Amino acid sequence: MTPEAKGQRQAFQFYGRRKGRRLREGRRSLVDTLLPKLSVPIPQEPGATLDPRALFDAPREIWLEIGFGGGEHLAAQAERHPEIGFIGCEVFENGVAKLLGEIERRGLANVRVLANDARPLLAALTPRSIGRGQDPSVAALPR
């Protein structure tokens, strides 16, 4: 393994669980059908960027929540602020499924989900594209 490849692997090494108990049929269905519609695409080309405003219909601002757990806070904020575009990042499949249930139940159209590590997203965001973040790692956002 080259030193560059080793450094890349270490940079995105993940510690923690990605899955818990097996998802019930309803939540599995949401992961299979709703998540693909709401997923945040990460650019794969080196140096490519992502303007998160393009993920929504004319948002006033974009807010980012990293590690949203079960999504209760994210869903409540999205319901309270329909003019804001919300991006939630979570690696734990059960939490993602729970948020998807809240999105469907509340009829939220202003939420997008990254069901993966947030670091590639942070690296791809255009400068000054996030108005508010919920996580200490948001200090690493491009400015």
With a cut of 70, say whether residue 37 has pLDDT above it: yes
CB 27 within 8 A of CB 99: no
With a cut of 50, say whether residue 87 has pLDDT above it: yes
pLDDT band (50, 70, 90) for residue 12: low
pLDDT band (50, 70, 90) for residue 133: confident
Which residue, 5, 4, 6, 10, is CA-closest to 119?
Answer: 10
With a cut of 50, say whether residue 1 has pLDDT above it: no
The pLDDT value recorded for residue 4 is 47
Mean pLDDT of 89-111: 95
Which residue, 113, 126, 119, 116, is CA-closest to 47?
Answer: 126
pLDDT band (50, 70, 90) for residue 9: very low
Number of CB atoms found within 10 A of residue 64's CB = 27
Strand duo 111-114 + 84-89: pairing: parallel
